Amino acid sequence: MAHLYGYPDIGRFGLGHSMLAWARCEIWCRNNDAQMLGPRWFRPRIGPYLRRERDRREYFKLFTNHGYVGEPWRTVLLAAARKIPSDTAASMAFDGRNTVVVFKNTVASNFEKHFHEVRGHGRVLYDAFRRITRKKYLPEASAAPFVAVHVRLGDFSRFDVNRVEAKTHNQRLPIDWYCDSLVALREALGTSMPARVFSDGDDTELVPLLRLPDVLRANDAESVTHMLEMAQASAIIGAGSNFNLWAAFFGQVPRITYPNQAIVVVNDDPTRETSFRDNASLPDAFVNHVKDQFMRQKSKAN
C-alpha cells in the first residue's frame, strides 16, 4: 500500500536555521496524515573546529529520530519514491504511488517567508523537539524565574549600524546593549530578577555583563540544552539569531531584541516582543507580560 511522507532536508546550516525545515515538515505531516522521514542530522562540519568555536555543531549526537521513519526505509524511500518540493505540495494530486514531500531550509533572508507555516504551533513543536532530544541533554526544570541573555559572537560579523538599519542579521551586537537592556527591564519590573548569560563567547568578552548584580553565566552544556533552558525563562534579551528565536517560540517567552534584529515575530501575541535602544522606555504591555510570566514561573517553582 502506497503512503504519503514528509522529509525535512535540513542541509548544513546551524541548529537554529536547520530547525525550520524540521518544524515545517512536522506540522505538514500532522495536518496531512503523513509519516515523517527522520532528518539526517549527521552533517560533518570543519568550520567550527577551524574557528575553535565552543559548539562543534555535531547535532547527530544530540537527537534521535524517535517517532520517525528511519533506516533502511528512509534511504529506500528517498531513492525510489516520487519526490515533490514542499512549495508545490498544495497542488499535488496523490496518484497512489509512494510520495515524499521534501522540505528544504530556506536562505536566512527568506526565513520569514516560511515561518508562518509553523506560527501558532509552538507547544506542539516544543513537545516534539523534546521527544527527539536525547534525554541526557534535556535541562532540569528551572528552580526560580530568570532572564535569559543570549549573546551571540562566534562566527557573527563585527557590528555595523548601517547594516543593522538595513535589517542585516548575524552581527555582534555591542555588549553594552545587553547590559542596558537588562538594566531597563529590571527597572521596569521593579526587581533585580536573576539573569543567565548564554553565549559562545569567552568570559573576557562578556565582562561588562557578568559584572552586573545577579548575573551568572549558564553552565556549560550542549546547544540544544541551552535552547530548551532559555525556553523556560521569564524574558529573553537576544541577538539577531535563530537560536533565541526558537527558544522564545517554544516557551512563548517575551523577547527583547535590537531594532531590526528580531528576524521574525515568534510570539503568538506580538505585544510579547519589543525592541530596545538608547535607553528608550519598554512598552507597558510588554513589561506586564514579563510580570505575568515571572509570577507563573515563581508559582510553579514553589
State pLDDT tens for residues 45-82: 444 434 455 445 567 789 999 999 999 999 999 999 99
C-alpha cell at 70: 528511519
User: Angle CA(159)–CA(217)–CA(171) in degrees, nearest 5?
Assistant: 15
Q: Which residues lie across from 274 on neighbouring strands?
A: 256
Residue range 33-52: mean pLDDT, rounded: 68
State the average pLDDT over residues 2-9.
88
User: What average pLDDT score do residues 101-124 get?
Assistant: 85
Confidence class of residue 109 from pLDDT cuts 50, 70 and 90? low
Q: Where are the beta strands (DSSP E) in 41-98?
A: 82-85
pTM: predicted TM-score of the whole model, two decimal places: 0.89
How far is the C-alpha of 135 from the C-alpha of 231, rounded, in Å?
A: 17
Confidence of residue 1 (pLDDT cuts 50, 70, 90): very low
pLDDT band for position 302 (cuts 50, 70, 90): low
DSSP 119-159: TT-HHHHHHHHHHHB-GGGSPPPPSS--EEEEE--TTPBPP
pLDDT in tens, 255-270: 999 999 999 999 999 9
In single-letter form, the type of residue at position 11 comes to G
Tell me phi and psi for residue 176, to 5 degrees. -60, -30
CA 94 to chain CA centroid, Å, is 33
Per the model's pLDDT, the better-predicted residue between 235 and 113 turns out to be 235
User: Using only C-alpha atoms, what is the Rg of the chain?
Assistant: 20
Q: How many CB atoms lie within 10 A of CB 279?
A: 8
Q: What is the pLDDT of residues 126-184, one digit of tens each?
A: 999 999 999 999 999 887 899 999 999 877 778 777 777 777 777 889 999 999 999 99
